[in-house]
Homo-oligomer: A and B are copies of this chain.
Amino acid sequence: MQKLKDRILKDGKVLPGNVIKVDGFLNHRIDPSFMRELAREICSRFDTEGVTTVLTVEASGIAVGTICAEELGVPLVFAKKAKSDNIEGGLYQCDILSYTYKKKVTLMVSKEWLNKNDKVLIIDDFLANGEALRGLINIVDQAGAELRGIGIVIEKGFQDGGNRLRESGLPLKSLAIIDRADENGIVFREDSDTL
């Protein structure tokens, strides 16, 4: 999506360790009208007929996930990362290694909100090593639900999460794939608009 690439080049910063900082519009400060454009673009890239649920993971997936869900007229379910008093009863759980926080976290979704009749579109703001997505896909499997697609705003193509998921045949589409991010700047994958 050219407009997203332009925004990344305009507002993004590359920090040491190949960290791509886009917290001005995507994951700390949210630009909601741009988020609406991103959500529409993601939804347009999948056959969303019959999708019953958008699934994401707290925290920064919630903004784009909420708007995707509103576009599709279905609920958003977000996986939680820690047990709270507010979830009772049966849970789908999957341990992942958080890239952002460098530690193991457990993703949890209440069995009340996902079951074998659901057709799920997974949405997230960022894809790096794919651990969060692995957890969400595992939870969709545990529920016996149908995974209809995985829509990502920004994929770090130089980490192997995205490629590994594609090689598994999973229906992954990213609005921008960054193949290099260093002191020389940001380089996008040429064909990322059509993947």
* Chain A interface residues toward B at CB < 8 A: 13, 15, 17, 19, 21, 23-25, 27-33, 35-36, 58-60, 62-63, 66-67, 69-70, 73, 75-78, 80, 82, 84-88, 100-101, 109-110, 112-113
Contacts and interface: CB of A to CB of B under 8 A. Distances in A.
A164 to B, nearest CB: 22
Nearest to A30: B76
Nearest to A21: B86
Q: Is the interface of A mostly helix, strand, loop or mixed?
A: mixed
Counted per complex, copies of this chain come to 2
A84 B101 contact: yes
B32 A86 contact: no
A24 B113 contact: yes
